[in-house]
Amino acid sequence: MAESRRWRRVALQITLASTLAYGVAGAQSTDKKRTNAPVAGKYVGPGSCGATACHGSVQPRSLTRVLQNEYSTWVTKDAHFKALHSLDNAVSQRMGRLLGIENPATSPKCLACHALAVPAELKLREFDVEGVSCESCHGPASAWLDSHVLKGWTPQKSFALGMLDLNDATLRSEKCLSCHLGTAENEVDHKMIAAGHPDLVFELDSYSAIQPPHWKPAADPNHDVRLWAVGQAIQLREALKRLARHAQGASWPEFTEYSCFGCHHSLTKPETSWRQERGYPHRAAGSPPWDSAHYIVFRILARDVDASASQQLEAQLETLYQLTSSLNGPPKSIAEKAAAASDLANRFAVEIAQASFDRGRAGRLLKSISDQGDTISNEDTRSAEQAAMALDTIFLSYEKQAGSQPEVRAAIDGLFRELNNPSSYDAPRFSAQMRKVSAALRDAGIASQ
Ligand code: HEC
Ligand code: HEC
Ligand code: HEC
Ligand code: HEC
């Protein structure tokens, strides 16, 4: 099981170039639960959290309910710590030259996602700009910093004072996506990617696992499946909002809305082209396809959670696919339809956050996803990647409850091997491996119901 998680770290780094964005201070959920807006405090900087007796212990401690070595984990293992330094590296400097940005390491455009860069009036005191730090995710600390260590204090009291409840999968997902997908204010577009920025790929549970966690694992064995499921719904909702923004923006068609590998794949002889063999359903031959990775696996989850609403979603997505998968689709209509589908995805997010997740549902999802192997494989690398990450996450959770199943694990690990070279991804091979996953699940008696 460690195999696939390790793979991700490497593979996610080598995949073709990668979004969110509102200022660090601006994360506002549309979630109905948050109508009582918390008191927004000011930022104090990560140095205020890093004392040895607070979160800067070298070893995990057991004095309180938290590990207390969060700061050390962040400094030594978390990519967010080095996010600011990345703006100094050769790739960033060249990106700067190509985009006309004099110094990426001091440019607000880059700092918005690579640092806790907040305006002076939101700082309680002066602190050095560092990478993406504690308050970038947990919220400004001035209002709860002193009191959150008091005896009898509860996290809920801190939440009312501006700490973000990151145990809530919806809020966590929105926070991560603010940088990993982008917002209206901060984004990574194709121009930036062509200049050298990595492509933005995200999946909440996998990315939480490789951050790595500086928190204790949840007691509920189904926790990670719920995280994945809510993350999928929020990611679709936000991706559709982004499509609506782009369609009405100045640079439409914006290529980050399309499948990267629709344009960036290696060419073969016609006799060996799986794309020509597959055909071009719902679009003209050779037109760039809308990026289906945002929903290709989610639609299976949606069907399991709410079959009738999922039909409505399918119909909306199909229309959007047809309109978007040509470079001259009608922008206004795309924007309207994307906004409507985004609202529906949000209804799913609310429903999924309240749904029960158990071993039965995990088994059903494993079966339905692997049974859709042909459809998923025929999209592209990013869709296949989402399926591999989903199967991995759900199976890890299933194994915790039902014991290990080495054949299934080996078949799922085999999916990741098919993704090592994204531009020469081969759909029939991925599909054959999905069939092996299906067969292994059947042999193990999983999801035979
Ligand atoms: C303020 C913006 C911001 C927020 C919020 C944010 N990230 Fe990131 N994240 C980044 C940046 C920038 C990097 C790249 C760091 C580098 O290597 O320079 C990154 C890198 C990562 C990586 C490493 C990816 C790799 O290729 O190894 C993971 C994993 C990750 N983030 C997970 C998360 C998760 C999970 C959340 C939400 C809990 C989150 N991030 C929230 C900006 C953010
Ligand atoms: C919308 C948020 C956002 C903006 C704006 C942004 N980045 Fe990033 N950047 C990210 C995220 C998220 C990652 C990590 C991607 C991953 O690994 O999944 C990243 C990764 C990178 C990396 C790769 C780091 C590594 O570990 O190899 C470089 C280099 C980089 N960004 C440079 C820049 C530069 C230069 C700018 C400004 C021109 C910029 N970024 C603007 C979000 C952003
Ligand atoms: C990229 C986002 C991100 C950054 C940066 C970050 N955290 Fe976290 N942190 C999380 C997430 C997600 C959780 C899990 C929340 C949960 O499940 O309750 C968490 C959990 C925690 C917890 C445990 C909370 C609990 O109630 O169990 C502590 C303490 C903590 N973080 C402190 C820190 C400190 C200190 C820093 C800076 C050194 C930091 N975090 C940086 C995202 C982040
Ligand atoms: C509609 C076609 C199209 C789509 C879709 C598209 N690109 Fe591009 N991309 C191009 C073109 C054209 C260039 C310029 C190539 C050149 O100058 O040689 C380019 C350039 C690039 C480059 C720099 C070229 C290089 O060899 O380093 C990268 C990296 C890149 N794109 C990544 C992506 C990613 C990631 C996506 C998906 C998020 C994507 N592209 C989507 C057409 C596309």
pLDDT at 61: 87
Residue minimizing CA distance to atom 25 of ligand 3: 66
Reading the block at residue 101, the tokens are 């940005």
pLDDT at 367: 96
pLDDT digits (tens, 9 = 90+) for 163-220: 999 999 999 999 999 999 999 999 999 999 999 999 999 999 999 999 999 999 999 9
pLDDT at 52: 87
Q: Which residue of 95, 99, 186, 197 sits with most ligand 2 atoms within 8 Å of its CB, as the best mutation to test the pocket? A: 197
Ligand 1: atom nearest CA of 9 is 27
pLDDT at 19: 25
Q: If you write DSSP's letter for every residue of 2-39 in order, what string do you get?
A: HHHHHHHHHHHHHSSB----S-GGG-----GGGGSPPP
Residue minimizing CA distance to atom 43 of ligand 4: 263
- Measure CA 156 to chain center: 26
181 lines ligand 1 (CB under 6 A): no
- Looking at the CA of 180, which ligand is closest? 2
The parts of the chain modelled with pLDDT lower than 70 are 1-39, 448-449
Whole-number Å distance between alpha carbons of 132 and 366: 35
24 lines ligand 1 (CB under 6 A): yes
210 lines ligand 1 (CB under 6 A): yes
134 lines ligand 3 (CB under 6 A): yes
Burial-class residue 148 by CB neighbours within 10 Å (0-12, 13-18, 19+).
middle
178 lines ligand 1 (CB under 6 A): yes
Q: If you write DSSP's letter for every residue of 273-284 in order, what string do you get?
A: -HHHHH--TTS-
Reading the block at residue 326, the tokens are 């040509």
CA of 138 to the centre of ligand 3 (A): 7
pLDDT at 40: 73
Question: What fold is seen in the domain 37-167?
Answer: Flavocytochrome C3; Chain A, domain 2 (1.10.1130)
CB 135 within 8 A of CB 43: yes
Residue 330, amino acid: P
Tell me the whole-structure pTM to 2 decimals.
0.93
Reading the block at residue 418, the tokens are 């098919």
